């Protein structure tokens, strides 16, 4: 076997109170084709499917995150890294809070493992992905699918899947500007008040019941947060206007997706389209180009096609 196709979903992390520990896979995907090449070929080459502004930012260098993940598997196995051509069909935009780096890490690891005849199990791949990303909230649902809570315990990870009712519809509004994770982390305080910790703990306890039961009262209360969103929202032009528009259109609430700037609203099947239109229109009303999608939770995670 010399060619493998891998599909990895976008992810939305935090979902309000679940900062750095909670994430869900979405029905928006990147696809990667890994093709082993000969020693006379470059050690790494890229093909960009449907090249646009996003794909033009990618380079075929040893620092490329996708290639680093690919190489990580062979280095872990103590094997030489084979020369490879990788074709990328990019649907998850870069630096928008939708787990684009997680798709690269998980895609590279899974593709390399498949080409190496799958010596690593899913748990080993997951641990490598968390090691590379530095936190679990995107890479775990990207690999496993669904909504996943990740808890670090005794130098290992406890992964707890959360049920997500099919009538709780994720709506994402993606602006045309970027926000780096580093910048979004830099604005966070080093310490928090006890009241803030209690505020978030109570909401994180309520959120899984709201998601599983499709309970409007629970969801409306649970989507609030005092750990990261009050500080990060100032980095996102139009945050207040988009939030007001989403709620006015019937959303249970709105949160920052990952580090942003993408904004995630939870809606019903009946009003999801209206919520998407309202969020996009609110951004466009202040001069920000944006696109909104009504999505589903991807329950499959990463798959080999």
pLDDT in tens, 181-202: 888 999 999 999 999 999 999 9
Q: Which residue has the tokens 């709620």?
A: 247
163 — pLDDT class (breaks 50, 70, 90): very high
Per-residue pLDDT of 23-55, as tens digits, reads 999 999 999 999 999 888 889 998 888 656 555
Over residues 1-16, mean pLDDT? 96
Domain boundaries 169-294, corresponding CATH code: 3.30.70.890
* DSSP H helices in the chain: 65-77, 100-115, 122-133, 139-144, 181-186, 194-213, 216-222, 229-232, 239-248, 272-284
Residue 51 is predicted with a pLDDT of: 52
Judge whether 3-162 and 169-294 match in fold: no
Q: What is the mean pLDDT of residues 265-288?
A: 98
Residue 250 pLDDT > 70, yes or no? yes
pLDDT given for residue 101 in this prediction: 95
Q: Report d(CA 251, CA 243) in Å as an integer.
A: 9
Q: What mean pLDDT comes out for the span 127-150?
A: 97
> Using CA atoms, how far apart are residues 63 and 65, in angstroms rounded to an integer?
6
- pLDDT interval class at 66 (50, 70, 90): very high
pLDDT greater than 80 at residue 59: no
Domain locations along the chain: 3-162, 169-294
Give mean pLDDT, residues 217-240. 96
**Per-residue pLDDT at 1 exceeds 80:** no
**Mean pLDDT, residues 221-243 taken together:** 96
Domain at 3-162, CATH class: alpha beta
Residue-averaged pLDDT of the chain = 95
Strand partners, 112: none
Quickly state the pLDDT bin for 92 (edges 50, 70, 90): very high
Give me the pLDDT at residue 53, please. 52
Span of 41-45, 111-115, 289-293 with lowest mean pLDDT: 41-45
SS (H, E, C) 156-181: EEEEEEECCCCCCEEEEEEECCCCCH
> Are the C-beta atoms of residues 16 and 229 closer than 8 Å to each other?
yes
- Tell which residue, 186, 178, 182, 91, has the closest CA to residue 134: 182
**Mean pLDDT of the 132-147 span:** 97
pTM: 0.94
Structure confidence at residue 179 as a pLDDT band (50, 70, 90): confident
Distance (Å, whole) CA 178 – CA 42: 31
| Residues contacting 103, CB < 8 A, separation 6+ | 8, 9, 10, 29, 30, 92, 142
Name the pairing type of β-strands 263-267 and 253-256.
Answer: antiparallel
């Amino acid at each position: 076997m010399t060619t493998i196709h891998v599909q990895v979903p976008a992810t939305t992390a935090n979902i309000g109170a679940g900062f750095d520990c909670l994430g869900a896979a979405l029905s928006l995907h990147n696809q990667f084709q890994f093709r082993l090449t000969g020693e006379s070929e470059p050690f790494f080459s890229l093909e960009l499917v449907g090249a646009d502004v996003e794909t033009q930012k990618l380079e075929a260098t040893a620092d490329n995150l996708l290639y680093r993940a690919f190489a990580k598997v062979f280095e872990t196995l103590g094997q030489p890294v084979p020369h490879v051509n990788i074709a990328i069909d990019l649907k998850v935009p870069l630096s928008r809070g939708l787990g684009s780096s997680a798709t690269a890490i998980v895609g590279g690891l899974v593709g390399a493992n498949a080409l190496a005849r799958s010596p690593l199990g899913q748990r080993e791949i997951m641990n490598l992905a968390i090691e590379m990303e530095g936190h679990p909230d995107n890479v775990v649902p990207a690999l496993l699918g669904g909504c996943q809570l990740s808890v670090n315990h005794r130098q290992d990870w406890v992964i707890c899947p959360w049920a997500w009712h099919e009538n709780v519809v994720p709506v994402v509004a993606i602006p045309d500007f970027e926000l780096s994770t580093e910048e979004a982390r830099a604005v966070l305080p080093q310490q928090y008040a006890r009241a803030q910790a209690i505020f978030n703990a109570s909401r994180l306890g309520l959120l899984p019941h709201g998601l599983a039961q499709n309970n409007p009262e629970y969801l409306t209360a649970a989507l609030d947060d005092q750990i990261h969103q009050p500080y990060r929202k100032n980095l996102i032009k139009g945050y207040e206007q988009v939030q007001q528009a989403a709620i006015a259109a019937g959303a249970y609430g709105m949160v920052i997706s990952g580090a942003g700037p993408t904004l995630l609203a939870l809606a019903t099947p009946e009003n999801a389209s209206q919520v998407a239109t309202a969020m996009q229109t609110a951004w466009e009303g202040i001069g920000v180009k944006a696109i909104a999608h009504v999505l589903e939770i991807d329950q499959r995670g990463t798959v080999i096609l």
